[in-house]
């Protein structure tokens, strides 16, 4: 039985499982996010996640990205189908918006209406429902 279990663990396609690396930034030059990689952002930042995928088999793939706030609520869900082979880079972003009416008072206090956004967030990235990467970051106002 042990031999059968070991054989089943080997991918039948002979392809490696894709790998995911990601870095976060709010800095943009010439319309492209640039490092330095940071893990702390302000409530008014546009937060970019630059996702590097490697070892992709030839063909169609599915990328799913969830931006999960400190309360555990998924604030944004991205479901992106793409065709690629080998390595590719995909950039996604999150821009937080205060509730309607809060902008009027944000001049005095930028955290007004943003309570659910302040704290540690999770970025969850899935490729083809088989590879997963989770990354934490902070939002402070």
Residue ranges per domain, the chain?
15-140
Average pLDDT (30-56) is: 91
pTM (predicted TM-score) = 0.79
Whole-number pLDDT of residue 130: 87
CA distances from 102 to 97, 108, 110 (A): 9, 11, 9
Give the SS3 label for residue 3: helix
> Per-residue pLDDT for 7 more than 60?
no
Which has more pLDDT, 48 or 5? Answer: 48
Q: What is the second-level CATH architecture of the domain 15-140?
A: Sandwich (2.60)
Q: What is the residue-wise DSSP string for 95-133?
A: E--PPTTGGGTTTT-TTTT-GGGSEEEEEEEEETTTEEE
Span 56-97, pLDDT tens digits: 999 999 999 999 999 999 999 999 999 999 999 999 999 987
State the Cα–Cα distance between residues 134 and 14, nearest whole angstrom. 26
Alpha-carbon distance of 67 to 51, in angstroms, equals 14
- pLDDT value at 99 more than 70: no
Degrees, nearest 5: CA angle 102-27-32: 115
pLDDT, position 78: 97
DSSP letter at 45 equals -
């Amino acid at each position: 039985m042990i031999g059968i279990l070991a054989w089943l663990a080997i991918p039948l396609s002979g392809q490696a499982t894709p790998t995911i690396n990601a870095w976060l930034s709010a800095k943009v030059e010439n319309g492209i996010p640039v490092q330095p990689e940071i893990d702390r952002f302000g409530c008014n930042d546009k937060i970019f996640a630059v996702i590097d995928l490697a070892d992709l088999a030839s063909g169609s793939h599915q990328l799913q990205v969830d931006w999960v706030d400190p309360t555990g609520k998924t604030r944004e869900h991205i479901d992106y189908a793409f065709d690629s082979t080998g390595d590719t880079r995909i950039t996604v972003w999150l821009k937080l918006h205060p509730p309607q009416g809060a902008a009027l008072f944000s001049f005095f206090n930028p955290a007004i209406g943003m309570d659910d956004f302040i704290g540690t967030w999770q970025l969850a990235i899935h490729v083809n429902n088989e590879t997963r990467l989770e990354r934490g970051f902070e939002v402070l106002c």
